[in-house]
């Protein structure tokens, strides 16, 4: 029986998925539900009976992008249902696009499904519902996002996510582990653990313990990491497991030894947002940055290969030149591996909008450029230090043979998460190589973002 288990007249759904990996997981869940209801997926506007646009509402620039995507879907298809974070602003969406069929908010799965059933009633068939299939993934088969909770209990002054997605709601640990096990059994080699606040996992359920494989495990980041490290791929290897959106609580220190033991990929995505105490205070973020430098040093003592990714906001209201200089000096000392930077952008509903002393746009641009210059120089030096080393690399893509028959491939080291970090470009790879393979590669060269090398025989 082929995979295409839908009836010829099955209604087809198109999906435009915007925003963060958490939104991507929402899109995957919606599509999986719809397929179980007898819908097929359309790869383009022309073939779709209805198009879903999963929007992002985190920043005004993201809202503009969402409205443009809705407009395109209306022009290209005409039958559009909107969901996601910007769906919380239904009036604004209807004002811009009165033709939309329905608007629902973030993770309102039932409402979306109902809207699709209303506007593109499913064709009935005796077979579809009886054939279980792996969940629909919008990422390549070899890596998957694993969303462990929804919402956030913090109130960072520049952020409206708690208003959009509500308070922290952690999933049961056994449900998360079962999903992870299913993903690995279906070919996932790399699990990306995501939420708004991964290190707060289980705080809202008092780390509710559950039975898993005869053991009691708590809904807690450390227990989760340890259990994910016990999973086994088809090659009887531990999957790569990355922790993303880790808020800098003290207990984060407890997962570092798991990295040194090889149970967890030596990678931590931990947004610090700034370093200057006064700026962190008005951001309503933990202000103890001095201790953070000591902690980073201790993490590297325990796990020398740990790669630390973080993100920073420049031009936050009230940020002085001294604050910004402080941040640059802090970055020099922290020596982070991967840094994303954002220019502060007021978003409707954020408390930071009312703060005094906004930073002029031109100064924001100048500070953004200076920060990127510092972090790029640090990245270049750190990558250069990897030349000559042999590193595990997961393959994302294998190229076509060139005129000499040589084949290249693109992959990532354990220090590179998909879509946000750098790549490893490999030359002369064997033609048997496939996406998802994990190989040992010798690094021959580096630039400020990427590595270049060859596979060890
Ligand atoms: S921790 Fe993240 S999601 Fe939560 S309020 Fe702060 S920035 Fe927003």
Phi, psi of 131 (to 5 degrees): -110, 100
- Residue 342: C-alpha distances to residues 59, 137, 323, 369 (Å): 11, 29, 16, 11
CATH classification of the domain holding 423: 2.40.50.140
* 169 and 281 belong to one structural domain: yes
Is the predicted pLDDT of residue 118 greater than 80, yes or no?
Answer: yes
- Average per-residue pLDDT in the chain? 92
Q: Could you tell me whether strands 409-413 and 390-398 are parallel, antiparallel, or unpaired per DSSP bridges?
A: antiparallel
Q: Rounded to the nearest whole angstrom, what is the distance from the C-alpha of residue 157 to the centroid of ligand 1?
A: 9
- Residue 165 CA, closest ligand 1 atom number: 3
Number of domains in the chain: 3
Greater pLDDT, 133 or 265: 265
Q: Would 408 be classed as within a structural domain?
A: yes
CA 18, CA 296: separation in Å to the nearest integer? 33
CA atoms within 13 A on the CB side of 335: 15
* 24 and 108 belong to one structural domain: yes
* 192 and 242 belong to one structural domain: yes
Find the mean pLDDT for residues 428-436.
Answer: 93
* 321 and 405 belong to one structural domain: no
Of 59, 162, 165, 244, the residue with max ligand 1 atoms within 8 A of its CB, to mutate for a pocket test, comes to 162
Q: Could you tell me whether strands 240-243 and 190-194 are parallel, antiparallel, or unpaired per DSSP bridges?
A: parallel
* 149 and 262 belong to one structural domain: yes
Q: What percent of the chain has pLDDT over 70?
A: 95
Which protein residues are within 6 Å of ligand 1, measured from CB? Answer: 152, 154-156, 159, 161-162, 196-197, 247
- Residue 160 CA, closest ligand 1 atom number: 8
Cβ-Cβ contacts under 8 Å for 354 (sequence gap 6 or more): none
Contact 151, 196 (CB under 8 A): yes
Q: Tell me which of 384, 412, 427 is where a domain ends.
A: 384
pLDDT score, position 398: 96
Q: Tell me which of 347, 364, 384 is where a domain ends.
A: 384
pTM: 0.90
Contact 409, 426 (CB under 8 A): yes
pLDDT score, position 285: 86
pLDDT digits (tens, 9 = 90+) for 222-246: 999 999 999 999 999 999 999 999 9
pLDDT digits (tens, 9 = 90+) for 329-359: 999 999 999 999 999 999 889 999 999 999 9
pLDDT digits (tens, 9 = 90+) for 183-210: 999 999 999 999 999 999 999 999 999 9
Please give the residue range of the domain that contains residue 421.
390-455
Is the predicted pLDDT of residue 9 greater than 80, yes or no?
Answer: no
* 163 and 287 belong to one structural domain: yes
Q: Whose CA is nearest to atom 8 of ligand 1?
A: 159
- Residue 441: C-alpha distances to residues 96, 234, 344 (Å): 51, 21, 39
CA 329, CA 342: separation in Å to the nearest integer? 18
What is the pLDDT confidence band of residue 289, given thresholds at 50, 70 and 90? low
pLDDT digits (tens, 9 = 90+) for 62-92: 999 999 999 999 999 999 999 999 998 999 9
Residue count of the chain, please give it: 457
CATH classification of the domain holding 213: 3.80.30.20
CA 126, CA 128: separation in Å to the nearest integer? 6
* 178 and 199 belong to one structural domain: yes
- Residue 247 CA, closest ligand 1 atom number: 1
What is the pLDDT confidence band of residue 2, given thresholds at 50, 70 and 90? very low
pLDDT digits (tens, 9 = 90+) for 391-415: 999 999 999 888 888 889 999 999 9
Which H/E stretch holds residue 314? strand 307-314
Neighbour-count burial of 214, counting CB atoms closer than 10 A to its CB (0-12 exposed, 13-18 middle, 19+ buried):
exposed
pLDDT score, position 397: 96
Neighbours of 2 (CB within 10 A): 4
Sign of CA dihedral 4, 8, 14, 15: negative
Neighbours of 31 (CB within 10 A): 21
Greater pLDDT, 366 or 161: 366
pLDDT digits (tens, 9 = 90+) for 145-189: 999 999 999 999 999 999 989 999 999 999 999 999 999 999 999
* 274 and 304 belong to one structural domain: yes
* 152 and 35 belong to one structural domain: no
Find the mean pLDDT for residues 8-34.
Answer: 90
pLDDT score, position 129: 52
In three-state secondary structure terms, 119 is helix
Of 22, 23, 155, 161, the residue with max ligand 1 atoms within 8 A of its CB, to mutate for a pocket test, comes to 161
DSSP state of 353: G
CATH classification of the domain holding 58: 3.40.50.12160
Q: Rounded to the nearest whole angstrom, what is the distance from the C-alpha of residue 33 to the centroid of ligand 1?
A: 29
Phi, psi of 126 (to 5 degrees): -70, -20
Q: At what angle do helices 321-334 and 361-384 cross, to 10 degrees?
A: 10
> Hey, what are 26's tokens?
């929402």
What is the pLDDT confidence band of residue 456, given thresholds at 50, 70 and 90? confident
Q: Helix, strand, coil proportions of the chain in percent (round to 5)?
A: 35, 20, 45
Q: What percent of the chain has pLDDT over 90?
A: 82
List helix spans (H) across 265-405: 277-282, 289-302, 321-334, 361-384
CA 305, CA 48: separation in Å to the nearest integer? 47
Of 147, 152, 204, the residue with max ligand 1 atoms within 8 A of its CB, to mutate for a pocket test, comes to 152
* 300 and 443 belong to one structural domain: no
Q: Rounded to the nearest whole angstrom, what is the distance from the C-alpha of residue 147 to the centroid of ligand 1?
A: 16
Q: Whose CA is nearest to atom 6 of ligand 1?
A: 156
* 214 and 230 belong to one structural domain: yes
Q: Rounded to the nearest whole angstrom, what is the distance from the C-alpha of residue 283 to the centroid of ligand 1?
A: 10
* 229 and 183 belong to one structural domain: yes
Which H/E stretch holds residue 93? helix 90-96
> Hey, what are 332's tokens?
């020099």
Cβ-Cβ contacts under 8 Å for 450 (sequence gap 6 or more): 383, 422, 423, 424, 425
């Amino acid at each position: 029986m082929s995979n295409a288990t839908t009836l010829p007249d099955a209604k087809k759904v198109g999906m435009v998925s915007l925003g963060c990996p958490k939104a991507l997981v929402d899109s995957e869940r919606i599509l999986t539900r719809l397929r179980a209801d007898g819908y097929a997926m359309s790869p383009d506007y022309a073939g779709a009976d209805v198009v879903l646009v999963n929007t992002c509402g985190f920043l005004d620039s993201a809202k503009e992008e969402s409205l443009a995507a809705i407009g395109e879907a209306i022009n290209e298809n005409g039958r559009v249902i909107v969901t996601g974070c910007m769906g919380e602003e239904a009036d604004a969406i209807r004002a811009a696009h009165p033709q939309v069929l329905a608007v629902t908010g973030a993770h309102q799965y039932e409402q979306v499904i109902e809207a699709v059933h209303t506007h593109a009633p499913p064709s009935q068939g005796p077979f579809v519902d009886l054939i279980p299939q792996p969940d629909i993934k919008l990422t390549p088969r070899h890596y998957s996002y694993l969303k462990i909770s929804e919402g956030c209990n913090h109130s960072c002054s520049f952020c409206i996510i708690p208003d959009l997605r509500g308070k922290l709601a952690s999933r049961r640990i056994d449900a998360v582990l079962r999903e992870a096990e299913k993903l690995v059994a279906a070919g996932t080699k790399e699990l990306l653990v995501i939420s708004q606040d991964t290190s707060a996992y289980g705080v809202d359920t008092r780390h509710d313990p559950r039975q898993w494989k005869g053991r009691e495990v708590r809904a807690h980041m450390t227990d989760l990491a340890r259990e994910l490290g016990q999973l086994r791929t088809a090659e009887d290897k531990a999957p790569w497991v990355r922790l993303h959106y880790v808020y800098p609580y003290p207990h984060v220190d407890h997962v570092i030894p798991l990295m040194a033991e090889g149970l967890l990929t030596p990678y931590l995505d931990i947004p610090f947002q700034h370093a200057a105490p006064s700026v962190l205070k008005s951001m309503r973020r933990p202000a103890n940055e001095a201790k953070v430098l000591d902690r980073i040093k201790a993490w590297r003592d325990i796990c020398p290969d740990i790669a630390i990714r973080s993100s920073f906001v420049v031009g936050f209201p009230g940020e002085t030149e001294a604050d910004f200089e402080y941040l640059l000096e802090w970055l020099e000392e922290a020596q982070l591996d991967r840094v994303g930077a954002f220019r502060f952008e007021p978003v409707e509903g954020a408390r930071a909008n009312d703060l005094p002393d906004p930073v002029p746009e031109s100064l924001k641009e100048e500070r953004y450029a200076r920060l990127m210059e510092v972090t790029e120089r640090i990245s270049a030096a750190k990558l250069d230090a990897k030349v000559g080393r042999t590193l595990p690399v997961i393959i994302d893509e294998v190229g076509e043979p060139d005129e000499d028959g040589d084949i290249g491939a693109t992959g990532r080291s354990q220090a590179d998460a998909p879509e946000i970090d750098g790549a490893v470009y490999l030359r002369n790879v064997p033609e048997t190589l496939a996406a998802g393979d994990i190989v040992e590669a010798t690094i021959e060269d580096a630039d400020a973002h990427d590595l270049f090398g060859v596979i060890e025989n």
